[in-house]
Amino acid sequence: VQQKDVIPATTTSTITLVTNAPPLAVAATPSNTLNPPISTDLPIATASADVAADIAKYTSKMMDAIKGTMTEIYNDLSKNTTGSTIAEIRRLRIEIEKLQWLHQQELAEMKHNLELTMAEMRQSLEQERDRLTAEVKKQMELEKQQAVDETKKKQWCANCKKEAIFYCCWNTSYCDYPCQQAHWPEHMKSCTQS
């Protein structure tokens, strides 16, 4: 729509509609002799305020439609994004929980293996200790028996308990003459040689 200035009238203005329609034949009348001839455009008489209101109304409708469409697009995208983001967060939380569970399982398995190893080592050490204790006891028993056997083979002084070299009677010996003389008052009662 183009607006052209036409001869001003007192209360109206004219808007011409430019079209590709063939020109209309208009006869000249005495009243428009002062006016220039009207072009082939169709004149549409309307008020400027009405046109502005119509433009504002349609502009507002178009803006509302665009705003609604953009809001809908945003909501759809944000729902998809939020949904996928929430799903991703949930997936990651599940993955973290799974990894934590696996970690706890590995720790429990390591602890169990360590406890088994320690139990085996403890058992091995106890067996080794028992074996060594038995071996030492056996060795000491053997040494004790040898010492007893050696002790039984010898004669001991009846007075000072040193190894005896002098024999008096069947179970009395002395290491030297002073011990025999010192012990004689006691031994003479039971001496078999007197």
CA 51 to CA 178: how far, in whole Å? 160
Do 64 and 137 lie in a common domain? yes
pLDDT tens readout for residues 52-74: 888 888 888 888 899 989 888 88
Do 120 and 29 lie in a common domain? no
Residue 73 neighbours by CB distance under 10 Å:
10
pLDDT at 84: 72
pLDDT at 82: 58
Do 85 and 169 lie in a common domain? no
Please choose, from the candidates 163, 165, 161, the residue with its C-alpha nearest in 3D space to the C-alpha of residue 183: 161
pLDDT tens readout for residues 72-86: 888 777 665 556 778
Do 75 and 146 lie in a common domain? yes
Do 8 and 35 lie in a common domain? yes
> How many structural domains compose the chain?
3
Do 94 and 188 lie in a common domain? no
Do 77 and 110 lie in a common domain? yes
Q: Comparing 11 with 93, which gets the higher pLDDT?
A: 93
Pick the range with the lowest mean pLDDT from 19-33, 37-51, 150-164.
19-33
Q: Comparing 14 with 161, which gets the higher pLDDT?
A: 161
Do 12 and 26 lie in a common domain? yes
pTM, 2 dp: 0.38
Do 107 and 180 lie in a common domain? no
**Whole-number average pLDDT of the chain:** 78
pLDDT tens readout for residues 132-190: 999 999 999 999 999 999 888 888 898 998 988 888 888 888 999 999 899 989 988 88
Q: Which residues contact 37 (CB under 8 A, 6 or more apart)?
A: 26, 28
Whole-number CA gyration radius for the chain = 67
Q: Which residue has the tokens 């009243």?
A: 31
- Look up the domain containing 5 and give its range: 1-46
pLDDT at 147: 92
Please choose, from the candidates 78, 180, 6, the residue with its C-alpha nearest in 3D space to the C-alpha of residue 172: 180
Do 132 and 144 lie in a common domain? yes
Please choose, from the candidates 7, 38, 42, 45, the residue with its C-alpha nearest in 3D space to the C-alpha of residue 22: 42
Pairing between β-strand 172-174 and β-strand 166-169 as defined by DSSP bridges: antiparallel
Do 146 and 111 lie in a common domain? yes
Do 35 and 104 lie in a common domain? no
